[in-house]
Amino acid sequence: RVLDMTHVQSGPSATQLLAWLGADVVKLEAPGGDITRRQLRDVPGVDSLYFTMLNANKRSITLNTKTPRGREILTDLIARSDVMVENFGPGAIDRMGFTWERIQEINPRIVYASIKGFGDGPYTAFKAYEVVAQAMGGSMATTGFEGGPPMATGAQIGDSGTGVHAVAGILAALYQRTHTGRGQRVQVAMQHAVLNLCRVKLRDQQRLAHGPLAEYPNEDFTDEVPRSGNASGGGQPGWAVKCAPGGPNDYVYVIVQPVGWQPLAQLIGHPELADDPEWATPEARLPKLAKMFQLIEEWTTTQPKWRVLEELNRHNIPCGPILSTKEIIDDESLKANEIVVDVDHPERGTYTTVGNPLKLSDSPTTIHRSPLLGEHNHDIYTTELGLSAEELTGLRTDGVI
């Protein structure tokens, strides 16, 4: 059982993944509910997609932990949980009276996970948001085109990326518990998680000490890793090239491996470049990456991206079309793999969400809708904690739930 005291995205993304993996996740919300139930609503008066897509397969209870009775009930919930997860501001749970030491007294076997914006130090009290974490974790400084401003990525690496890191720590602590019998504290910072995902840029920062980075398309280098557009940044150069008819997502990302140069030269109508000493080797092509992708693009702009994809794959050239969000939500293969899933909701009707990306042979996942606010108060408080129906009514009247 997971006691889910999280809100917004970083925490709920972690506990949703645990729920998909089979945990009984009990989402504890203040009587007003997770703020994302009301944010970015597309249908008036019902839970937003922001909430529904981060809280699948969970049960919901409400509890005012600022009341004495609320804190007593929270104590009971901690005592019967295997994992507790929170992503409040620094010190918020401590101020409720539930320090790590107190939580250990209540339940020595519990794994207590916290997601914060930053680790201990000068940034500890900073408010953390997705793009703030990207800014301070190395992502924004290295994203964008040379000469342009730093850019955020559309992937939620600060929030959901941190959630995945938290799940790894929680599962490790649960496994360790099978040997020690004790729970432990798991702490993950959004800045740290983003930096972990940006490690190749930290690699390149150190490589700069030995001269310019040849695989980057940039002409000028300072003492910092530059923004390099769509360059792969790896051992094999890559770039997003335009395709017909020239719409905003009519692009294919192409990677040029040594073995792929000969068939690619044929495809783009320059077979002579396969044997030309000025082009034939990766070392010869590195100083001319911009020209190389220009030649490729002269070919790709003459046909649609799906035709380009077909031709490149026929010659085993690594590539991928730039898929728009509309193309992704309509993609039949993603639906067949249950990573794009339709779910029925009693108030908003059918909506589409992302399914479990982790596929376990003996533990298939069925995606269930997110819970309504306090939908499981009776089940958990009466059936599981043993409160009477009269007390439940009293708690509701007193504003405890």
Q: What is the pLDDT of residues 252-295, one digit of tens each?
A: 999 999 999 999 999 999 999 999 999 999 999 999 999 999 99
**pLDDT (mean) for 165-190:** 98
Q: How much is the mean pLDDT over the chain?
A: 96
- Of the chain, the percentage scoring pLDDT greater than 90 comes to 97
CA geometry: angle at 21 spanning 338 and 89, to 5°?
110
Q: Is 220 a catalytic residue?
A: no
With bands split at pLDDT 50, 70 and 90, how would you rate the model's confidence at 144? very high
Q: What pTM was estimated for this model as a whole?
A: 0.94
Distance (Å, whole) CA 105 – CA 238? 55
CB atoms within 10 A of CB 268: 16
Q: What is the length of the chain?
A: 401
Taking 90 as the threshold, does the pLDDT of residue 233 lie above it? no
Q: How far is CA 90 from CA 85, 94, 245, 341, in A?
A: 14, 9, 51, 35
Distance (Å, whole) CA 357 – CA 365? 10
Predicted confidence at residue 277, as pLDDT, reads 96
34-38, long-range: CB within 8 Å, 24+ apart, which pairs?
A: 34/7, 34/8, 35/7, 35/8, 36/7, 36/8, 36/9, 36/12, 37/373
**pLDDT (mean) for 375-397:** 96
Taking 90 as the threshold, does the pLDDT of residue 234 lie above it? no
Predicted confidence at residue 249, as pLDDT, reads 98
Predicted confidence at residue 385, as pLDDT, reads 96
**pLDDT (mean) for 36-50:** 96
With bands split at pLDDT 50, 70 and 90, how would you rate the model's confidence at 333? very high
Q: How far is CA 192 from CA 26, 46, 136, 146, 160, in A?
A: 27, 35, 9, 26, 13
**pLDDT (mean) for 150-156:** 97
In one letter, which amino acid is 349?
Answer: G
Quick one: 238-317 is in which CATH superfamily? formyl-coa transferase, domain 3 (3.30.1540.10)
**pLDDT (mean) for 349-373:** 97
Predicted confidence at residue 214, as pLDDT, reads 87
- Of the chain, the percentage scoring pLDDT greater than 70 comes to 100
Domain boundary assignment for the chain: 2-196+331-398, 238-317
Predicted confidence at residue 102, as pLDDT, reads 98
Inter-residue contact 243 to 304 (CB < 8 Å):
yes
Predicted confidence at residue 4, as pLDDT, reads 98
Predicted confidence at residue 395, as pLDDT, reads 96
Same fold, 2-196+331-398 and 238-317: no
Taking 90 as the threshold, does the pLDDT of residue 312 lie above it? yes
Q: Which residues pair with 25 in a beta bridge?
A: 2, 58
Taking 90 as the threshold, does the pLDDT of residue 319 lie above it? yes
Q: Name the token pair of 91.
A: 């010190």
Taking 80 as the threshold, does the pLDDT of residue 87 lie above it? yes
Taking 90 as the threshold, does the pLDDT of residue 235 lie above it? no
CB atoms within 10 A of CB 174: 18
The residue from 4, 47, 159, 250 that is catalytic is: 159
Domain 2-196+331-398 fold is: Rossmann fold (3.40.50)
